[in-house]
Amino acid sequence: MLRKHSLLRILLALSLVLVLAGSAMAEGDTKININTASVEELVQLERVGQRYAERIVAFREQNGPFKAPEDIMLVAGIGPKIFEANKDRIVVK
């Protein structure tokens, strides 16, 4: 009987871990439109903090919408490393 309870606890713990991991992974897959996203949304991108997010918003306000995801590298401080880390999540539609 004790063995069944231990097994049940282990299975419940594993289920919880899988559910939480799935939620975290799904959040990381969310597409972010760099032409419409707020600063709060932009900071969800990897390696993009408050300052870079503000620069992205200021850049598009001054220069108009981005034409391609790669155009984010036109923003001061955002180079190939940040773009590569986020290229699957950035959209411009």
pTM: 0.71
Does position 24 have pLDDT exceeding 60, yes or no?
no
Q: How does pLDDT run across 28-52, given as a tens digit for each residue?
A: 689 999 999 999 999 999 999 999 9
Alpha-carbon torsion, ordered 9, 14, 15, 18, to 10 deg: 160
Contact 70, 92 (CB under 8 A): no
Task: Indicate the pLDDT class of residue 6, thresholds 50, 70 and 90.
Answer: confident
Contact 18, 28 (CB under 8 A): no
As a whole number of angstroms, the distance between CA 6 and CA 11 comes to 9
For residue 32, what are the β-bridge partners?
90
As a whole number of angstroms, the distance between CA 35 and CA 50 comes to 17
Average pLDDT over residues 12-32: 64
How high is the pLDDT of residue 9?
Answer: 77
